[in-house]
Amino acid sequence: MTDTPVVLFDHVQAANGLRFGVATLNTPAALNALSADMVRLLTPQLRAWAADPTVVGVVLDAAGHKAFCAGGDLRQLYLSMREHGGARNPVAEAFFSEEYELDHLIHTFPKPFLVWGHGIVMGGGVGLMVGASHRVVTEATRLAMPEIGIGLFPDVGGSWFLPRMPGRTGLFLALTAAPLNAADALHCGMADVLVPHDRKAAVWSALASAPWTGEAPADRATLTAVLRAAGEGALRPPSLVMRHAAAIDTLMAGDDLGPIAERLRSLQSDDPWLQAAGTSFAKGSPTSAALSFALWQRANGLPLADVLRLEYRAALGCCAHADFPEGIRALLIDKDRQPRWDPPTLADVWPALIDDHLRLRGEMPPRLAAL
């Protein structure tokens, strides 16, 4: 056991008594996986900074050199699912409602909000990053929504931001867990600027010296200029999504999951990234694929708050059914990487099963109802 805080809070002091709040995820050994304790520290502190007139903006950073946030902390969820089975699960209800409340707070934060998305950014980490006003990627950034491999779906607002990507890229990412590099993240609208990681200290110094006003529109423009200057001349890797845009749209064409699934299963490519995407789909949970596709269709055009409420229902549905605990078992508990999906094939996933995933269990939590 350790008393080390899972989130560190600090400030960057600027001129005129103004400052930037800095929150640092602080479990590098766990790749800064997002836990309930982290969420319960972050949300009240962000609200306090939003209300503090001396705080002109916020930085969300992470300790270590490997990951900003490699997703949600799933072990406690797994234990709760083993305990409660298909019954009401108060641990899951609290975790998902509090996580989604935090994600919505970042999307709607009234001041400049900078996320330094260095290294691995997956699942819940994407949820923390994608809603920020200023999202930095580095040469080492690797993003993904890998939930199909654990029997979940791209949550944390994925049903809202994935359809906003070019063409059918978002659906492709949901079904294949394909990883993105920095250039892909910029192309897909998940990031705003590429800044080499070794310039981070220079960005922090610029935050201290920039002419902040306390007026959010002007300060957002100032932060944009700071980051643009920091990223000047940075080498951008080739975008795999752009290279394969036509193939992705062809694979994802149509409004029926069956043909899409068949194209992915029969995919043969000389490109390792594209071939791995097809393999990940074939190995993933059939129920997750069907649920992700249903959310892609049902969430289309909904405002973010409605999408998060829909995802809350779907997340609890996953906790009440077989594949999510089985996926965690195979990846993190027994580590055999041989999940036994139930149902085992997409043809066996009946519409009633997806409908049951999407029904509301109990009442909508007040924190989500009030978004």
Annotated active-site residue 72? The verdict is yes
Q: For residue 19, list its beta bridge partners.
A: 13, 55
Annotated active-site residue 167? The verdict is no
Distance of CA 102 to the CA centre of its chain: 12
Between the two ends of the chain, the Cα-to-Cα distance in Å is 36
Helix axes 272-283, 257-265, angle to 10 degrees: 120
CA distances from 283 to 82, 112, 251, 277 (A): 23, 40, 17, 10
Six-digit token pair at 351? 């519409």
User: Given 71, 72, 119, 284, which residue is catalytic?
Assistant: 72
Measured distance CA(98)–CA(5) in Å, rounded: 19
User: Given 98, 99, 101, 147, which residue is catalytic?
Assistant: 147
Six-digit token pair at 233? 């001349």
Pick the closest to residue 117 from 101, 106, 108 (CA basis).
106
User: Given 21, 123, 124, 327, which residue is catalytic?
Assistant: 124
Q: Can you say whether the dihedral through the CA atoms of 248, 252, 254, 255 is positive or negative?
A: negative
Q: For residue 135, list its beta bridge partners.
A: 115
Annotated active-site residue 147? The verdict is yes
User: Given 155, 192, 219, 323, which residue is catalytic?
Assistant: 155
Annotated active-site residue 125? The verdict is no
- Residue located via tokens 């999407």: 358
Six-digit token pair at 126? 């994407």
- Residue located via tokens 């902040």: 212
* Coil vs helix vs strand at 78: helix
Task: Let me know: does 264 contact 251? Beta carbons within 8 Å.
Answer: yes
Task: Let me know: does 138 contact 196? Beta carbons within 8 Å.
Answer: yes
Q: Please list the active-site residues.
A: 72, 124, 147, 155
